[in-house]
Amino acid sequence: MLNVSNIHKRFGNNEVLKGVDLHVEKGDVIAILGPSGSGKTTFLRCLNFLERADEGEITLGDITTKCTKASKKDIINIRKRTGFVFQNYNLIITKTAIQNVMEPLLVVQKKSKEEAKRIAMEALDKVGLSNRYDFYPSQLSGGQQQRVGIARAIAVNPDVILLDEPTSSLDPELVGEVLSVIKKIAKEGTTIVIVTHEIAFAKEVANRVVFMEGGKVVEENNSSEFFSNPQNKRTIEFLNRFLPEYNYYI
């Protein structure tokens, strides 16, 4: 469904991505792990052209485009078929929860106001915010704001949802409520690619895991094999730091 090959991205003289590949099948939940600065977020942003890669090719369904040559139409069509959940919510502070969810439905998908409102209500209900339709971001907790962000992503009925460390800006006590929502939509068969530092969550929910470092994919495997029998020395060092009870041997 989604195939990404040889993605390179530079910022000045700093090559952040050095030829990253990813293949996503319908229904996959793929967790991308790795230390800070490994290129995870940049890679995710390249998938729907929030950043334009300097090299590489992206195929999403029947759309195939070279990253450097993607037309405005290609980019719009890819964005229509992906939902993106940001680290810092990215809600419009002057709009209510339901208005934030309606925005892409009205602006990108050109839905009628009545249909957009119906879809937005269903999405907010799904993330447990049926009593917060008319609340502004300033009236919501961080966890509630992130759940609005997830509702906005699922409302457009995307082929794949991209989540960029969705709990990194939350107080620890609010992390669980957001992870439970992601677990719920994953169990419903939603295709997800998530960059996360929540290693236990990745182990429980993902069916495939990618480990990145230095702008490259160091190791990739199904979740069971990745966590039970990691192969790369750097992967083992990383997992030992977060899952010391496993005591992986190098």
The pLDDT tens digits for 150-202 are 999 999 999 999 999 999 999 988 999 999 999 999 999 999 999 999 999 99
CA dist 155 and 239 (Å) reads 35
What's 176's domain CATH number? 3.40.50.300
Cross-strand pairs, 29? 192
Question: Is residue 246 scored above 90 in pLDDT?
Answer: no
Name the token pair of 98: 């339901």
Confidence of residue 245 (pLDDT cuts 50, 70, 90): confident
Q: In which domain, by residue range, is 28 found? A: 2-242
Beta strand extents in 188-228 (DSSP E only)? 192-195, 208-213, 216-222
Provide the 3-class DSSP secondary structure of residue 162.
strand
- Could you give the C-alpha distances from 226 to 31, 91, 133, 203, in angstroms and in order? 11, 35, 40, 9
Question: Is residue 248 scored above 70 in pLDDT?
Answer: no
Question: Is residue 17 scored above 80 in pLDDT?
Answer: yes
Is residue 212 domain-resident? Answer: yes
Question: Is residue 9 scored above 80 in pLDDT?
Answer: yes
Confidence of residue 249 (pLDDT cuts 50, 70, 90): low
CA dist 165 and 196 (Å) reads 5
Q: What is the pLDDT of residue 242?
A: 84
CA dist 1 and 60 (Å) reads 6
Name the token pair of 240: 């030992």
- Mean pLDDT across the chain: 95
Name the token pair of 102: 């309606």
Is residue 250 domain-resident? Answer: no
Quick one: what percent of the chain has pLDDT higher than 90? 93
Task: Tell me if 18 sits within 8 A of 132, measured CB to CB.
Answer: no
Q: Identify residue 145 by its one-letter amino acid code.
A: Q
What's the total number of domains in the chain?
1
Is residue 165 domain-resident? Answer: yes
Q: What is the pLDDT of residue 250?
A: 56
**Nearest Cα residue to 16 out of 250, 213, 225:** 213
Is residue 225 domain-resident? Answer: yes
Is residue 226 domain-resident? Answer: yes
Is residue 76 domain-resident? Answer: yes
Place of tokens 């509630």: 144
Is residue 83 domain-resident? Answer: yes
Is residue 248 domain-resident? Answer: no
- Could you give the C-alpha distances from 27 to 149, 189, 205, 219, in angstroms and in order? 21, 5, 12, 21
Place of tokens 């509702």: 151
